[in-house]
Structure 1
Amino acid sequence: MSVLLIEPFYGGSHKQLMDLLQEELQEDCVLCTLPAKKWHWKARTSALYFMQTVPTSSNYRILFASSVLNLPELAALRPDLGKLKKVLYFHENQLAYPVQKCQERDFQYGYNQILSWFMPEHKLARLEKVIGVKRNGDSYQLEGLPGQQESRAVMKTSDAHLESGLCEPQPGLCTTQHEGLPSPPAAPVQAEAPESTNPCQGEDKQCLTFNLSNILSGLDYQQRPLHIAWPHRWEHDKDPETFFKVLMKLKEQDLPFHVSVLGETFSEIPDIFSEAREVLGSSVLHWGYLPSKDDYFRALCMADVVVSTAKHEFFGVAMIEAVHCGCYPLCPKALVYPEIFPAEYLYSTPEQLLKRLQNFCKRPDIVRKHLYKGETAGFSWAALGSKFRSLLAAEPREDL
């Protein structure tokens, strides 16, 4: 139990990473989590909650957490944890996260990240050599986005740990479903599967049962319409507006295509989803979150093209997974994508995305015969496992 894993937002890629580390480290770690709900509340208050619930142990050597946790607060509230070697993973940059409404940004979340990322002089000197931190008077200027490099070093997947929804809860999780800050439970309880996020459930309208082999039976492979996948969270930072407007134009032009809109939903769903579902009609093969990772992988393997329209992305697990499953990627020529994908898979404007998809709708055989020209093997656990084990070594090193 030398590694303490803490995740205040235990869902999606956050959960995926923690589950992978827990499985690989096995009995050498303990995982403490909170459900993937009410993100802002977790960012503000989870340190106080974990202060009460993380078991005390003399065996801890390392604390590994995501930046949803306010690490300085937890270290102050629990001095025993403050003495540990700490590894903090940033899933996103809250100072650059796109706002949904034209209003003043709440800087508390970015401020939390800055406090959690503060490092002493000798470590900053090391960073200057490793990731290009430049001194500017008494401050430091970051060259590029260092978080992107850490993202790719952390958000790596093995075939068994792709972003496919929630796995079965692991024994020994220090997890509760409380949304506020209640008194600590008498004993840790296991995480429960989240409520269904398929927006069709509970409604009168018929939902598509996920059985693509039946839907597509009788059609020759090369004669099937182009199948487009969008495997992202149903939230504004993934820019579903742009994606659906492009697909609506394809529909207006009577171009043949199918679409699978996958990904997890939360309490607020952008209005464009209901509008698009109505307009796209019979072009939709699947609509909604797939809790089964086998169904999720099957959807990606059946798709021809995977599209991202994201406005904020540090790595893009879902895109790498889709490419691993054989999809042709189309990504913005921005954010982290040019660092991962060759130029032919990038577009600069929605008009360029539309043109690419128009051509693919007319000639789906182009993408079906295409062999991806990039590399994904470097993102596997086989390639990165030894680096993680070194990072999570029990003895702290001055250069970490």
Structure 2
Amino acid sequence: MARLPERPRVWLLSAYRADSHAAWADWLVTTQTHCRWRRLELPGRNFAWRIRGNPLSWLDSLPDETPDLIVATSMVDLATLKGLNPRLARVPTLYYFHENQFAYPVGENQFRSLEPRMVQLYGALAADRPVFNSAFNRDTFLSGVSELLKAMPDAVPEGVSERLAQASAVCPVAIDPLVGMAPGARDPRLVVWNHRWEHDRQPSMFADVMLRLANEGVTFRLALLGKRPRRVPEPLTRLREALPSQIVADGMLPGAAYRDLLAGAGIVVSTSRHEFQGLSVLEAVSAGACPLVPDALCYPEMYPAACRYPAGDAEALVSRLRAWLTGGLPPSVDVSPWYSDRLQPRWKALLQELA
């Protein structure tokens, strides 16, 4: 009787377990059962220390076994980790980019440090297969590497971006689709904001637009969701004070309540200045909400022109929302290519290619 091959031993290294990183890791080990997984994860906080310090955090805690494959997120300082652990040097490695530091916007009181970008560049070079959650993520990383090396004063290697491009692949984070209400039961005037209330999501622009529409007498309701810092953001305060009767939800809802709200929403809006895949919009669209997103970042890969407005153009966003709220919504958008059942075989093929 033929002996069945053993399942490969795979380490999943996630140096920043937060939000999409956590959802992706949980999904991967649950669905890719042909692997024997060993997970090493660090909490999603203290970014500057975490992205540079994870090889130290794991210095004395790596398993004694040598895996058949390593799957590491781009928050992992992979080059240093392999240098400190020579037995891992030749282990095939998939390096997964949820984001890249070359395209991550910097806040008003921040400066762009070289170190996070170098960690990700060295990590991609140390990996066998850099994988990105969107073509936008891949392309901005590769162009960022090219621009960075142009600034390098001397002894610059040739063809680094081209070398990385040849090794790279795109495979998104999967979502489980939400069940939406029948069209007649949906509230076409319920506008959802389900993003972090931070500078890179431009909540001030969203607040300006909604207050402008309210002053024009346009009828709508608001669901103000997503994480917010301890100090209440000024845009959120403005919306609360000016539109208390229009706000039907305010805060992070429990899972079931969140899904129920998205199931009946008409519109989900993004004003983001950075988005590498946009899971919150994807989830809302899977439930039947119409996306209204910038014509930039990852969004052109996902949504038709009718659902995109010129990035940063508040007037265009006001105009499009006004038309939707007074004249009816466009057809729903098919986002099934990002569903779990569609992406599971693609991830399996990537893993089997290396292990």
Taking structure 1 as the reference length, what is the TM-score of the superposition? 0.72
Quick check: 1:140 aligned with 2:156?
A: no
Cα distance, 1:142 vs structure 2: 5.3
Q: How many residues align?
A: 321
Residue 138 to residue 64, structure 1, CA distance change in 2 (3 Å): same
Q: How does 1:152-167 map to 2 (within 5 A)?
A: 153-159=171-177
Residue 268 to residue 112, structure 1, CA distance change in 2 (3 Å): farther
Cα distance, 1:99 vs structure 2: 0.9
Could you list the runs of 5+ residues in structure 1 that have no partner in the other structure? 125-130, 163-212, 214-219
SS of aligned partner of 1:99: coil
Given that 2:207 and 2:238 are in contact with CA atoms closer than 8 Å, whether structure 1 keeps it comes out as: no
What residue identity is the alignment partner of 2:236? F
Taking only the aligned residue pairs, the percentage that are identical comes to 28
Aligned position for 1:357: 321
SS of aligned partner of 2:174: coil
Residue 141 to residue 335, structure 1, CA distance change in 2 (3 Å): farther
Q: How does 1:171-190 map to 2 (within 5 A)?
A: none
Q: Distance in 2 between matches of 1:38 and 1:258?
A: 36
What residue identity is the alignment partner of 1:275? R
Given that 1:7 and 1:66 are in contact with CA atoms closer than 8 Å, whether structure 2 keeps it comes out as: yes
- Per-residue CA deviations over 1:195-252 (Å, capped at 9, x if unaligned) read xxxxxxxxxxxxxxxxxx9xxxxxx958x67100111122211111111111111222
- Per-residue CA deviations over 1:347-398 (Å, capped at 9, x if unaligned) read 01211111111222324xx12xx432x43221122222122112112855xx
Quick check: 1:389 aligned with 2:348?
A: yes
Aligned position for 1:190: none
SS of aligned partner of 1:3: strand
Given that 2:192 and 2:265 are in contact with CA atoms closer than 8 Å, whether structure 1 keeps it comes out as: yes
Cα distance, 1:109 vs structure 2: 0.9
Cα distance, 1:22 vs structure 2: 1.2
- Per-residue CA deviations over 1:291-330 (Å, capped at 9, x if unaligned) read x322221111111000111111111111111111000110
SS of aligned partner of 1:23: helix
What residue identity is the alignment partner of 1:158? D
Match of 1:263 among 200, 205, 226: 226
Could you list the runs of 5+ residues in structure 2 that have no partner in the other structure? 1-7, 131-137, 151-155
SS of aligned partner of 1:34: strand
SS of aligned partner of 1:281: coil
Q: Distance in 1 between matches of 2:339 and 2:303?
A: 16
Q: How does 1:1-400 map to 2 (within 5 A)?
A: 2-26=9-33, 28-58=36-66, 60-101=67-108, 104-118=111-125, 138-140=157-159, 150=169, 153-159=171-177, 226-266=189-229, 270-290=233-253, 292-348=254-310, 349-363=313-327, 366-367=328-329, 370-372=330-332, 374-393=333-352, 395-396=354-355
Q: Distance in 2 between matches of 1:359 and 1:311?
A: 24
What residue identity is the alignment partner of 1:305? I
Aligned position for 2:5: none
What residue identity is the alignment partner of 2:174? K
What residue identity is the alignment partner of 1:338? P
What residue identity is the alignment partner of 2:324? F
Moved more, 41-50 or 259-268: 259-268
- Per-residue CA deviations over 1:94-129 (Å, capped at 9, x if unaligned) read 122111116542121111111111269x989xxxxx
Given that 1:11 and 1:35 are in contact with CA atoms closer than 8 Å, whether structure 2 keeps it comes out as: yes
Q: What RMSD over aligned residues (CA atoms) do the two structures have, in Å?
A: 3.2
Given that 2:94 and 2:129 are in contact with CA atoms closer than 8 Å, whether structure 1 keeps it comes out as: no
- Per-residue CA deviations over 1:49-80 (Å, capped at 9, x if unaligned) read 1232232224x111112111111111122223
Residue 282 to residue 225, structure 1, CA distance change in 2 (3 Å): farther
Aligned position for 1:201: none
Cα distance, 1:156 vs structure 2: 1.8
Q: Distance in 2 between matches of 1:274 and 1:37?
A: 26
